[in-house]
Amino acid sequence: MTIPPPIAMLAELTHRCPLACAYCSNPLELLVAKTELGTDIWTRVFREAAALGILQVHLSGGEPASRRDLEQLTAAASEAGLYTNLITSGIGLTRARLEALMAAGLDHVQLSLQGTTAKVADFIGGYKGGFDRKMAVAADIDALGIPLTLNAVMHRTNIADLPATFDMALTLNARRIEVACVQFQGWALKNRSALQPTRDQVETAKRVVAEATERLRGRLVIDFVPPDYYADYPKACMGGWGSTGLNVAPDGRVLPCHAAETIPHLTFPNVLDTGLAEIWNDSQAFNAFRGTAWLPDACRSCSRVTRDFGGCRCQAMALAGDPFAMDPVCKHSPHRAKVDALLAEDAPDGWTYRRMAAARP
Ligand code: SF4
Ligand code: SF4
């Protein structure tokens, strides 16, 4: 069977980050700096990605600006023919660095937004002074004319600030904003009950998004990702396992999605010893859940199967303890009661910030 090439690669250049967001999608066991791939290996990987047919690379982390060679990495990706998108908190960027990144071929920036005021943003990001520095970086991005998308993760503490979030996107001259309700992976899963919005909050948010989408049409593109747990059916996670994208972790392991290492029976090949094309086409991890033949009978006979592919494998693992199960969010799942029980949980007062203290060597 010929496997179509992926469209995008998430290059997780580092797990280092000055911020400590409690919803970070990075794994609980973060990788330390000395495990990170060097400039030369990334350069080879970008060339292999382009040869495989990948069109765009998301330079991500952690905070990619924590890498001193970010400019060289951007140039390498651009020279390989990839569209380069920098996903950043802004911390570690300066006007001079942004100019150097532009000269290196940077095409686009996605700037994360933890909140719309310094008080809220610095509390959520666990980093005092972060908001003011981010605003200065956003002004530089605008002045330099780099296309900007804002990424705002919405959760119980900040979802009421959606109107102010859209106002901020206009103020910063962003062309697009992604407002994604928190997805429960990595640190967000650990902090689930503190972050889970209430049903009323979600219904209000949907109305606010619908009104803003209409009002701002032609000025701002709004992409809204509603929360999974209140839905009747799951999302088509990653557009189907091993079908549209791949993640390269800071140490070179290649994952079908950033939470895939929570599935114990998968083994992840590494770019240090295997080519990207071989990993994509032939590896156990990428073929484990391709197509629909492995799904339970109830999914294979369901009319939605070509839309959601049975939902998210990592969510099935996390909630049902079985990566082959129907996504427990689905109303037909025998595990749906577990999701409803989680929605009924009380929210604790605090959360656990993402910290390198849990780092693996
Ligand atoms: S979510 Fe927060 S802590 Fe995680 S990489 Fe992004 S800015 Fe850093
Ligand atoms: S039964 Fe399976 S395919 Fe049908 S909606 Fe539920 S998860 Fe999707």
Which residues are CB-neighbours of 228 under 8 A, at least 6 positions away?
Answer: 183, 184, 234, 235, 312, 315, 329
Ligand located closest to 312 CA: 2
CA of 169 to the centre of ligand 1 (A): 19
C-alpha of residue 302 to centroid of ligand 2, in Å:
6
pLDDT at 358: 53
- pTM equals 0.94
Q: Which of 227, 225, 220 is nearest to 177 (CA)?
A: 220
Chain segment 120-152, per-residue pLDDT in tens: 999 999 999 999 999 999 999 999 999 999 999
Q: How far is the CA of 72 from the centre of ligand 2 (A)?
A: 44
Mean pLDDT along residues 269-284 = 97
Q: Contact, 241 vs 256, CB < 8 A? A: yes
Q: How far is CA 304 from CA 251, 295, 300, 313, 331, in A?
A: 37, 13, 9, 16, 12
Average pLDDT over residues 68-92: 98
* Ligand minimally distant from the alpha carbon of residue 315: 2
Query: Is a pLDDT exceeding 90 seen at residue 228?
Result: no
Q: Please compute the mean of the pLDDT values over residues 211-228 and round it to a whole number.
A: 95
pLDDT tens for each residue of 313-327: 999 999 999 999 999
Mean pLDDT (whole number) for 295-303: 95
pLDDT at 357: 66
Q: Which of 304, 335, 336 to mutate to test the pocket of ligand 2 (most atoms within 8 A of CB)?
A: 304
359 Cα: distance to centroid of ligand 1 (angstroms): 15
How far is Cα 155 from Cα 322, in angstroms, rounded to an integer? 27
> DSSP states of 325-355 as a string?
SPPTTSTT-TTHHHHHHHHTSPPPS--PPP-
